[in-house]
Amino acid sequence: MGVIETAGLTKEYPGVTALDRLDVTVGEGVTGLVGANGAGKSTLIKILLGLVPATGGTARVLGHDVATDGGRIRSLVGYMPEHDCLPADVSASDLVVHLGQMSGLPYAAARERASDVLRHVGLAEERYRPIGGYSTGMKQRAKLAQALVHDPRLVLLDEPTNGLDPSSRDDMLSLVRRIGTEFGIAVLVTSHLLGELERISDHVVVLDGGRLLQSSATTDFLHATGSLLVEVQGRHDADQVLGQALVDAGLAARPAGDALIEVDIRDERTADVVRDLAVDLGLGLVRLQERHHRIEDVFREGGAGSVQPT
Amino acid sequence: MSSPPEPQAAPTGVIHDLGYRPYAGPRLGERKVAEAFFLTGLRNTYGLGRSARSKVLPMGLLGLMLLPALILVGVLVQARNLLGLDEQIVAYSTYPLTTQVLISVFVAAQAPALISRDLRFSTITLYLARPMRRSVYVLVRVASLTVATFVLIAAPLLLMYVGGLLADLPFGRETGRFLAAIVGAVLLSACLAGPAAVVAALTIRRGLAVAAVIVVLVVSYTVVATIQGISYDSGHESVGEVAGLFSPYTLVNGVQVFLFDSPAATRTPPDGTAMGVLYCVATVLLVAGSIGILMLRYRRIRT
């Protein structure tokens, strides 16, 4: 049984179709939900929480129907909203304890859990200060802590890296990864930055204009088309010389910008051919790495706006 | 960013060392959650569990509410025989009208703190993403505000009652009047908290909400009291009786006069059964209407 299962899920607002006959199954682990702004990610999350009724189709979360069992679902699910939602005048500690109680924990248990999850998200002494004085990174951590305080079986994280600087973003991403793996809590995480989801997701669902563009394991996205990135030094036109040699050797090679060459992998010997040619030409081989297709290629190749049934 | 995912790699640069511990303990049902929510709201209204600064106003107002009652009790106990007093110097039912400015300021300051705050910071989203239903959220918030207001109104009445007993006022009569006044305090709290909550829910900015509630409560009372005074002086008392419907203070005082024969605090209390019933109906409509508007308001809130 999937953690989330939707069948023909449709949401129509006056004049706009936010979700269009969506069939998605989400399992354990970390699932990325990708889509441009307005693709229907937030609408989907709100329907899954039972906060917004769907206009058609069905959705089940942890085996419960969102239309009839919203309260039960909300007690089993943690939600981290995208926008600001923290009151400025209380401390993260007090807020998370209170919200733990609101999820049904007795007071003593809520205190203990709040202390635990605040430590896990990396809020130390500052947890006792009013949230109004927090940086964006600290606020995001507090928002994540309140989603985890009641030990949910699934967390819905809406753009958790929004507004974070690169190092905070890395921290947040590894935290999300840990929630899905070490904590054993299923994660549905949205982002419009595709590269982030590549790193942490087991599975990626791509939405476009309220429709399902693609849903598959992250590895499928990354290995769908393999090619090598090659960088050589030794002379000013080293890349052109090697590129020509590769083409002469019958390989498909093309410039990949910044004096890099991209070579399609024909078989497992392709890398050897590249190495041997570089040696023969007296060039220094600086880089030889597998080039991974990024999830964004789905948009480029699939043509966002067009629909590919899966 | 384009490196292959390494699910097995241990995350680096993270503070935590202890593993995650799942929670296996009890989970409370809807009623217990609502109770916890109610208590937190009630405590917050008096600044408990909040910053020291947010305790100043509600605690100060509570002190100011008690002060006149304390003086009255002191005079009653010390000088009862000297002044020939055989009842409370100020009637229980009149006390809330005498101190109406303090009560209005309290409600005006605390309704936004409870209600506008969740909307201003969008914290409402975090509540709605939890098991509690919207309607329960609204009812509990109003209940917290009502009970907080009740504590403010009833505390001096209790002080006066205890003082009255110490001064050897007749036990049965005092108890009857006191209980009638407590019922009045419940009604008045609900009639103040309901409209104040509506104004606070419609006015998200705190300063505006405070001003709006004060205007609604204080100005309506002032206007009503003025009309009642003029109508009494000019002999058109029925005009004053109708006007009394339009301020929670005069409305509830009228209900007390009608139901319990309490001493009237206005010049033109409701006279006759029809007017008395009208006062009771208006009280119910005021409370029910406020809650109805709140329900509609919160149904429209997008999360």
Within a 10 A sphere around the Cβ of B15, how many other Cβ atoms? 11
Are A102 and B127 an interchain contact pair (Cβ–Cβ within 8 Å)?
yes
Terminal-residue alpha carbon distance, chain A: 20
Q: Choose the closest CB to A218 out of B5, B21, B131.
A: B5
**What domains does chain A contain, in order, with CATH numbers?**
4-222 (3.40.50.300), 227-291 (3.30.70.260)
pLDDT band at B93 (very low <50, low <70, confident <90, very high): very high
Please give the residue of chain B at the shortest CA–CA distance from A181: B7
Whole-number Å distance between alpha carbons of A271 and A285 = 12
Place B2 in a pLDDT band, splitting at 50, 70 and 90: very low
Q: Which residue has the tokens 């039912």?
A: B93
Q: Has residue B271 been placed in a domain?
A: yes
Tell me the two tokens of residue A267.
């078989």
- pLDDT at B92 exceeding the cut of 50: yes
Q: Which of A272-281, A295-304, B226-235 has the highest mean pLDDT?
A: B226-235
- Residue A252 dihedral angles phi and psi, to the nearest 5°: -85, 110
Any domain includes B18: no
Cβ pair B122:A151 closer than 8 A: no
For A169, other C-beta atoms within 10 Å of its C-beta total 18
Question: According to the model, what pLDDT value does residue A299 have?
Answer: 62
| Interhelix angle A107-120/A136-148, nearest 10 degrees | 140
Measured between CB atoms, which of B16, B118, B126 is closest to A120? B16
Is A49 an 8 Å CB contact of chain B? Answer: yes
pLDDT at B14: 56
Q: Residue A300 above 80 pLDDT?
A: no
The phi and psi torsions of A21 (rounded to 5 degrees) equal 40, 65
Whole-angstrom Cα Rg for chain B: 24
**Six-digit token string for B80:** 């009862």
Provide the pLDDT confidence category of residue A303 given band limits of 50, 70 and 90: very low
Residue A85 has its nearest CB partner, among B37, B54, B125, at B125
Q: Please tell me which of the candidates A83, A183, A199 has its beta carbon nearest to residue B5.
A: A199
Contacts of B49 in chain A (CB under 8 A): 94
Could you tell me if A226 lies within 8 Å of chain B, comparing CB atoms? no
B122 part of a folded domain: yes
Q: Is the backbone of residue A308 left (phi > 0), alpha (psi -120 to 50) or beta?
A: beta
The distance of B194 to chain A (nearest Cα, Å) reads 23
| Contact criterion met (CB below 8 Å) for A159 and A191 | yes
Query: What's the rounded Cα separation, in Å, for the pair A152 and B127?
Result: 15
Looking at residue B187, what is its pLDDT? 97
Q: Residue B5: inside a domain, yes or no?
A: no
Mutation site, A61, A66, A94, A101, interface B, largest B CB count within 10 A: A101
In a domain, residue B60? The reply is: yes
Q: Are B201 and B297 in contact (CB under 8 A)?
A: yes
DSSP B103-162: HHHHHHHHHIIIIIHHHHTTTHHHHHTSSS-HHHHHHHHHHHHHHHHHHHHHHHHHHHHH
Distance between CA B38 and CA B142 in Å, rounded? 9
A51 touches chain B (CB under 8 A): yes
Containing structural domain, residue B65: 30-299
Segment B70-79 shows an average pLDDT of: 92
Please provide the average confidence, as pLDDT, over all residues in chain B. Answer: 91
Cβ-Cβ contacts under 8 Å for B131 (sequence gap 6 or more)? A71, A72, A74, A75, A103, A104, B30, B33
C-alpha radius of gyration, chain A, whole number: 23
| CA A228 to chain CA centroid, nearest Å | 25
Q: How far apart are CA A197 and CA B5, in angstroms?
A: 10
Tell me the average pLDDT across B243-268: 93
Q: Would you say A77 and A154 are in contact if contact means Cβ atoms under 8 Å apart?
A: yes
Distances in Å between the Cα of B115 and the Cα atoms of A107, A143, B124, B217 are 23, 21, 9, 17
Give the pairing type, strands A56-61 and A253-255: unpaired
pLDDT at A309: 36
Between B157 and B206, residue with greater pLDDT: B157
| CA B130 vs CA A50, A76, A174, B272: distances in Å | 10, 9, 26, 50
**What whole-number percentage of chain A has pLDDT above 90?**
53
Surface-to-core class of residue A13, CB atoms within 10 Å of its CB (0-12 exposed, 13-18 middle, 19+ buried): exposed
Q: Which of A26-35, A288-297, B287-296 has the lowest mean pLDDT?
A: A288-297
Q: Count CB neighbours of B71 within 10 A.
A: 11
Dist CA B100 CA B108 (whole Å): 12
Strand ranges in A145-185 using DSSP code E only, listed in sequence order: 154-158
pLDDT tens for residues A132-157?
A: 999 999 999 999 999 999 999 999 99
Contact A20, A10 (CB under 8 A): yes
Query: Chain B: residue nearest A113 by CA?
Result: B23
Range with the poorest average pLDDT among A123-137, A282-296, B243-257: A282-296
Unique residue bearing structure tokens 């001064």: B167
H or E, element range at A227? strand A227-233
Which amino acid does the sequence have at B224?
V
Give the position of tokens 């509690």.
B132
How many structural domains comprise chain B? 1
For an interface test with A, the pick among B39, B126, B128 (most A C-beta atoms closer than 10 Å) comes out as B126
ipTM of the shown complex: 0.86
pLDDT digits (tens, 9 = 90+) for A41-95: 989 999 999 988 999 999 999 999 999 999 999 999 999 999 999 999 899 999 9
pLDDT confidence bin for A257, thresholds 50/70/90: confident
Residue B123 lies in a domain: yes
Q: How far is A75 from chain B (nearest CA, A)?
A: 5
User: pTM (2 decimals)?
Assistant: 0.83
Length of chain B: 303
Asked whether residue B21 is domain-assigned, the answer is no
Mean pLDDT of A168-174: 92
CB-CB neighbors (< 8 A) of B19 in chain A = 182
Element of type H or E holding A47: helix A41-48
- Are B33 and A74 within 8 A, CB to CB? no
A81–B122 CB contact, under 8 Å = yes
Residue B20 lies in a domain: no
Residue A122 has pLDDT above 70, yes or no: yes
What does residue A289 show for φ and ψ, rounded to 5 degrees? Answer: -135, 155
